[in-house]
């Protein structure tokens, strides 16, 4: 990705961020003035969009900073840590909304359906504007933010429908019901983010990557007789890292380098942008032992190997 492309995405993200922030505040104010908990819930959904945009913009900005001696991987992990904290915050906010929705269902409060309708329409317009700004980008961070905003646009449509229902029927029970549904959707989205960030922080194999397919692709390269001691994890949401020992009987240094470059080229389709490959001319017995135990347990091993 070129620097110009990143800069263009950042500009769109900044505009989208300002729009989302302004209409987040509008929805909070509108929800409080109209008495609509659904609007406040939708503002919570918009707040999740705001966090998503901030994370995406921050990730692209941090990616421009080169690693240092003190921070050899740069600031990529900052994105994951922030997402982890924000997902916990969203779950807490949603729990509060669910409790308030329950109280509203027991003791209905008056809602100004007209004001609720107007504010929800403004929120929908804001979401559609952001969707237009982010549409078509191939950047993974931007695409993630894009789908967040699309979900919020659907939520705004639901609030508009609820506002119309309240205005025509006077049945304010639609407000706490809808706010509860929106809060549950936020919890589901936040829980997914929490799970993904926890897996990244614990350096699990990325869910989007087939570990066996990676190993098969590596061993299919000419000159590779085996691969073991493979460690695969994510540095951040769009950069995977791999360490591996490559068993090869090739003695020509130039051919070994060609083999290494071929492996790294194949790894790119798995978003493995950083790989460390240690070539060995003698197969590592300890690594073979570990792989045997992983596949078959201790069955078939000599007594001293247990």
CATH number of 286's domain: 3.30.70.1350
68-115 pLDDT tens trace: 777 777 777 777 777 787 778 778 878 888 888 888 888 777 888 888
265-288 pLDDT tens trace: 999 989 898 899 999 886 544 445
Whole-number pLDDT of residue 289: 46
Residue 206 covered by a domain: no
Domain hosting residue 251, numbered range: 211-305
- Is residue 290 predicted with pLDDT exceeding 50? no
Residue 120 covered by a domain: yes
Residues 52, 56, 230, 303, CA torsion sign: negative
- List helix spans (H) across 113-235: 113-134, 140-169, 174-201, 211-219
- List helix spans (H) across 202-267: 211-219, 253-267
Rounded Cα–Cα distance for residues 135 and 147 (Å): 10
Asked if 111 and 180 sit in the same domain, the reply is yes
Provide the whole-model pTM.
0.68
**pLDDT (mean) for 181-189:** 82
Sheet with 239-247: list strands edge to edge: 226-236, 239-247, 272-280
CATH number of 117's domain: 1.20.1510.10
Asked if 179 and 290 sit in the same domain, the reply is no
Whole-number pLDDT of residue 295: 58
More confident residue, 61 or 180: 180
């Amino acid at each position: 990705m070129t620097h110009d492309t990143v800069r263009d995405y950042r500009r769109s993200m900044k505009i989208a961020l300002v729009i989302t922030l302004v209409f987040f505040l509008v929805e909070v104010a509108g929800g409080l003035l109209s008495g609509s908990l659904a609007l406040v819930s939708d503002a919570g959904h918009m707040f999740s969009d705001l966090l998503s945009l901030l994370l995406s913009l921050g990730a692209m900005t941090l990616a421009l900073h080169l690693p240092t001696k003190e921070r050899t991987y740069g600031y990529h992990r900052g994105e994951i840590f922030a997402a982890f904290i924000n997902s916990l915050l969203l779950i807490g906010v949603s729990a509060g909304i669910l409790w308030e929705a329950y109280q509203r269902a027991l003791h209905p409060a008056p809602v100004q359906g007209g004001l609720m309708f107007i504010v929800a329409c403004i929120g929908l317009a804001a979401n559609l504007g952001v969707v237009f700004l982010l549409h078509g980008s191939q950047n993974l961070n931007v695409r993630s933010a894009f789908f967040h905003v699309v979900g919020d646009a659907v939520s705004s449509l639901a609030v508009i429908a609820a506002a119309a229902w309240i205005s025509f029927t006077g049945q304010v029970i639609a407000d706490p019901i809808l706010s509860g549904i929106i809060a549950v959707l936020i919890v589901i989205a936040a829980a997914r983010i929490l799970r993904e960030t926890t897996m990244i922080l614990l350096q699990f194999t990325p869910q989007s990557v087939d570990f066996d397919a990676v190993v098969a692709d590596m061993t299919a390269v000419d000159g590779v007789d085996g691969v073991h001691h493979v460690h695969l994890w994510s540095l951040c949401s769009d950069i995977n890292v791999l360490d591996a020992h490559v068993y090869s009987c090739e003695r020509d240094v130039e051919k070994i380098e060609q083999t290494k470059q071929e492996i790294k080229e194949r790894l790119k389709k798995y978003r493995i942008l950083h790989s460390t490959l240690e070539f060995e001319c003698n197969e590592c017995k300890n690594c073979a032992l570990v792989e045997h135990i992983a596949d078959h347990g201790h069955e078939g091993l000599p007594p001293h190997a247990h």
